[in-house]
Chains A and B, each alone.
Chain A
Amino acid sequence: IAGITQAPTSQILAAGRRMTLRCTQDMRHNAMYWYRQDLGLGLRLIHYSNTAGTTGKGEVPDGYSVSRANTDDFPLTLASAVPSQTSVYFCASSVGGYTFGSGTRLTVV
């Protein structure tokens, strides 16, 4: 692993299903973030974590949850997916500037 790894790369999900997007970093950064990016709306922060064991809500947290059991992993869970959660999801970590994962393209149908 070099940097941030996200999985899956893309997914088509039936509405109402539960899904976890995975994010792992090997840079030992304390701060991690989940963003969604939608055309015309830019990057919007969903949840963040300043250090292992702590999480916080961003601009658009409804319908999403996160956990931070250790420094490296920061999974994002959609408890019951809805079509409005169709988006590209980016995980990022930070020590100053941000390093982004390659993204997960999620389509909820």
Chain B
Amino acid sequence: GQNIDQPTEMTATEGAIVQINCTYQTSGFNGLFWYQQHAGEAPTFLSYNVLDGLEEKGRFSSFLSRSKGYSYLLLKELQMKDSASYLCAVDAGNNRKLIWGLGTSLAVNP
């Protein structure tokens, strides 16, 4: 079957660094996405990885290892506004229909 796992909840302190992990088992792989979703709002795109390695974009970085079926999202210099749910999704090559994880709810405390 197709499966994506990520932790349900995480807590971190303002100014710190947090790593949100995502493991996947899918029949195919065309890329992995990370989305951010604030409470009561729509998901918004953060990053896309299709090749192994680290992609850096400001305070956010995303890493992919295709051989391990593993990705992480790294958030640096955490701010209160980073409190949100972070969704991992995989394009398994099924007509662009993404497979979604349940999301990791991150709480940033002062």
Residues in chain A within 8 A of chain B (CB atoms): 31, 33, 40-43, 45, 48, 50, 56, 58, 90, 94, 96-103
Contacts and interface: CB of A to CB of B under 8 A. Distances in A.
Given A33-B97, A45-B97, A96-B48, A40 B42 contact: no
**By DSSP majority rule, is chain A's interface helix, strand, loop, or mixed?**
strand
Contacts of B89: 98
Interface stretch (B14-22, B51-59, B76-84, B100-108): B100-108
Given A42-B102, A42-B103, A43-B87, A98 B97 contact: no
B42 A103 contact: yes
Contact of B42 (A33, A56, A90): A90
Contacts of A31: 95-96
A45 B97 CA distance: 8
**Which 7 pairs between the two chains have the least Cβ-Cβ distance?**
A100-B42, A42-B102, A43-B100, A97-B45, A31-B96, A102-B42, A100-B43
Contact of B97 (A48, A96, A103): A48
Contact of B100 (A42, A94, A101): A42
B97 A101 contact: no
How many chain B residues sit at the interface, stated as a range, is 10 to 19
B96 A99 contact: no
Given A100-B42, A100-B44, 17 more contacts: A31-B96, A33-B97, A40-B102, A42-B100, A43-B87, A45-B97, A48-B95, A48-B97, A58-B97, A90-B42, A94-B96, A96-B96, A97-B48, A98-B35, A98-B45, A99-B45, A102-B42
